[in-house]
Structure 1
């Protein structure tokens, strides 16, 4: 079982006219929890949700899929909202109306891994509660999922992100995030630098070009499968869910953290290929709508 901590919200996605919006359940950590459960890995989501209309939409969507949703204590209770618009390539940009003021996390008893990131590790006062939990003895997975509209300057954000990378065992980051944090740097070279901070595995997603993964022993760049992109909403979260599901199936998340670092080159390729396949299907449909294991077809043969 994997415990995910972070925001759950309503994504209001603009139609081509820019005036009509469709509501989809969203939030990066919530999308990861949903993706894990659809793939067959049990997940607990510690989050902040209200009892309003959007809260009901998001909660029902997650619980119907089998996610164990655990509302976290907070002094306010309205459900957060993100407005999203996509460009001609289906790439989304966001405008957030979000509060993250949680005061405690769910117990981690029974969890093989804690996954977090995105706004949950950025927005105070809740971010300091989450970062404290990242100091657990359990495996920690982290996706910074940078949101420039809610962040300071890259120079201001780099120390926080690097501190949280150092607390993590598995790090997934997009090349867009690295491009914002480290303008002009090669994302593959930055992945190696991040690995030196302490993680056992760093993966950089490269959009249509797939993903690059690096451990202390191996590095590989794997192409993504061809797909017709509807939008990229939730694609990175789907990749994370696929990667964590693969690592869980391989028995690499629980116990000795060095097991992730010692994964073979072929196994690392399979893990990234599987995560790429999960993300590709998500890109082929609207909103954060990750696939079930049955929908992955031949990609299931990549699982350990």
Structure 2
């Protein structure tokens, strides 16, 4: 099983005519749904509100077979993200104060499930407290038990109120993570002016065993201490980029899980890594070809 711990929220997406359509979303939530649709045993951990949006969030998880039994339930409101689109690129404005997820505390953490293959974390859940500290504590517990942690910061600078504290948290988490995935925007914010080689050296010196760099239409790059593999982007007509990176993460984890490679990242062979990178890229291409965070089911990638 792969556990995804991080934000679930409602994306309010613009429709023709100026109305807003509510869609289930959140970076970590999207990855959990994508994992389930790909047929991977997956679980999701995040406090869920009892408000009118809860069914909208729970239904896609249930349809994908994702285990939500550990999710705390609360009367606090669901986080809302108003989405604006410019040239197919999504930008977000969040309403999060006092929300169900924002108030996630360490007392809400369940024991890590037995047989856990990996923990996936990232997104805005890492920014504010108490939820950021809670996810960090969970990641530390997993790493201490030898469970590989995958981190995708998915940096949203406009959501960061205390940049120094956030950078310090990411630095600690980068020291715990076995797998790190970064977009070009993430790299530019975290390491201004640094080239790829400098970034990868910094991450591997902290202990990362697999680093993934994605660049949208320019494809993706996977690096380990022994391998460097590139995968071109699959050419599709882009509807929007909502959920693309989240689907990429799920595709990579799914492929590594099926290959039995999550417990042997130090000995990851080139063929397995190349196949996982190609599969993740194909999965992400399906998501960008249709509106919203709508990751593919496994039969769509056969």
- TM-based fold match above 0.5: yes
1:95 aligns with 2:93: yes
* Residues 142 and 170, structure 1, Cα contact 8 Å, conserved in 2: yes
Deviations 1:18-44 (A, max 9, x none): x22111110111101101011110111
Partner of 1:246: 255
**Alignment gaps of 5+ in structure 2:** none
Where in structure 2 are the equivalents of 1:94-173 lying within 5 Å? Answer: 94-98=92-96, 99=99, 100-103=102-105, 104-110=108-114, 111-135=116-140, 136=142, 137=145, 138-152=147-161, 157-173=166-182
* CA gap 1:76/1:179 in 2 versus in 1, 3 angstroms: farther
Partner secondary structure for residue 53 of structure 2: helix
Where does residue 10 of structure 2 map in the other structure? 10
Instruction: Output the CA distance in 2 between the equivalents of 1:184 and 1:152.
Output: 23
2-structure distance, mates of 1:22, 1:244: 30
Q: Identify which range, 228-237 or 71-80, moves more after superposition.
A: 71-80
Q: Would you say how many aligned residue pairs link Structure 1 and Structure 2?
A: 291
Following TM superposition, by how much is the alpha carbon of 1:191 offset from its aligned partner in structure 2, in angstroms? 2.5
CA deviation vs aligned residue, 1:74-95 (integer Å, no higher than 9, x gap): 775211111111112x110000
Alignment of 1:192-231 (within 5 A): 192-231=201-240
Look up the match of 2:288.
283
- Corresponding residue of 2:183: 174
Equivalent residue runs for 1:58-73 within 5 Å: 58-70=57-69, 72-73=71-72
Tell me if the contact between 1:154 and 1:181 (Cα under 8 Å) persists in the aligned partners: no
Contact 2:154-2:183 at 8 Å conserved across structures: yes
* Residues 119 and 27 (structure 1), Cα distance of their counterparts in 2 relative to 1, 3 Å cut: same
Alpha-carbon offset, residue 105 of structure 1: 2.1
TM-superposed deviation, 1:64: 2.1
Please list every run of 5 or more consecutive structure 1 residues that lacks an aligned counterpart in the other structure.
298-304
Residue 52 of structure 2: aligned partner: 53
Q: Is the 8 A contact 2:47 2:74 kept in 1?
A: no
Aligned-partner Cα distance in 2 for 1:244–1:79:
28
| 99-108 or 51-60: bigger deviation | 99-108
Counterpart contact for 2:209–2:266, Cα < 8 Å:
yes
In 2, Cα distance between equivalents of 1:268 and 1:225: 17
Shift of 1:266: 2.5
Does the 8 Å CA contact 2:45/2:71 hold for their aligned counterparts? yes
Change (3 A) 1:16 1:182: farther
Normalising by structure 2, we get a TM-score of 0.91
Shift of 1:152: 4.1
Match of 2:38 in 1: 39
